[in-house]
């Protein structure tokens, strides 16, 4: 562990120990998994994980979160959540994430009250300040703590520390919620969310590690890593994939030549 990362890690441990009892808003991603694992080491069974099982979260990711907590003996509360019932979500405005996050954190707060816990933490890191993230305002308004950010930890440091801790998520690709796949103002429906989930499932099952299927009306814009572009264009794979996309309901399928990049839907806001 590098000296700078070690100091940040110690700062994180100290902060978690100060809180004593803690609820972690747990998605199963790289950041929240690391935060939960460290909290388990520092405060033991005083930490509780709370996960929102919503329409915009792939089923496999919820199951991974369940397995992680079960294997480590962490108390885990999973609640069903329908984003489409949240005012300001289905219409998909640029601040959609704020409305959704606000509703989710309210449910997390209710879960925290059930286990007699005051402090709630989530997994944002310092790199998250570099992109348009309206959900940050919801975190601040809800009084939720961001210990990784407070400790000054970057995404790269969290991955490295996760690797040293033996966490399988250390190299897990980034997965934002499925709602992030829609162009702003494109109405979001349960059917469209399912279309995107099944399209991305195909890519995952065919060995692509980092990808997005962005929805623009009846067209799907596919992003894969630049080094995977050539493999994606293999005639046999491409033919099977485009056929699968038509079966799902997409009229057109386009490949983004810039490749995968986080937050590409925010390009339109700039």
Query: Could you give phi then psi for residue 153, rounded to 5 degrees?
Result: -80, 135
Contact 244, 199 (CB under 8 A): yes
177 flagged as catalytic: yes
Inter-residue contact 120 to 25 (CB < 8 Å): yes
| Integer angstrom CA distances of residue 39 from 2, 42, 88, 147, 239 | 21, 5, 34, 10, 47
Dihedral of the alpha carbons of 132, 145, 120, 168, in degrees to the nearest 10: 70
Instruction: Give the active site residue among 69, 97, 100, 177.
Output: 177
Q: Could you count the other beta carbons within 10 Å of the beta carbon of residue 64?
A: 18
Task: Tell me the catalytic residues.
Answer: 177
């Amino acid at each position: 562990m590098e000296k700078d990362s070690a100091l940040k890690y110690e700062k994180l441990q100290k902060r978690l120990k100060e809180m004593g009892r803690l609820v972690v808003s747990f998605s199963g991603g790289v950041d929240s998994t690391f935060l939960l694992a460290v909290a388990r080491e520092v405060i033991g069974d005083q930490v509780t994980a709370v996960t929102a099982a919503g329409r915009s979260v792939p089923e496999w990711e919820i199951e991974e979160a369940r397995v992680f907590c079960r294997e480590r003996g962490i108390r885990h509360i999973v609640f069903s959540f329908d984003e489409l019932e949240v005012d300001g979500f289905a219409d998909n405005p640029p601040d959609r994430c704020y409305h959704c996050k606000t509703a989710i954190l309210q449910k997390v707060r209710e879960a925290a009250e059930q286990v007699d816990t005051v402090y709630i933490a989530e997994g944002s890191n310092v790199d998250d300040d570099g992109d348009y993230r309206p959900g940050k305002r919801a975190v601040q308004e809800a009084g939720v703590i961001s210990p990784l950010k407070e400790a000054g930890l970057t995404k790269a440091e969290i991955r490295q520390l996760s690797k040293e801790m033996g966490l399988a998520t250390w190299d897990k690709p980034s997965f934002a919620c499925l709602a992030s796949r829609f162009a702003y103002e494109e109405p979001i429906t349960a059917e469209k969310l399912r279309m995107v989930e099944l399209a991305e499932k195909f890519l995952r099952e065919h060995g692509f590690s980092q990808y997005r299927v962005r929805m623009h009306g009846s067209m799907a814009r596919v992003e894969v890593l630049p080094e995977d572009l050539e493999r994606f264009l293999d005639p046999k794979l491409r033919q099977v994939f485009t056929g699968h996309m038509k079966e799902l309901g997409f009229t057109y399928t386009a490949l983004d030549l810039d490749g995968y990049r986080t937050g590409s839907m925010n390009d339109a806001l700039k």
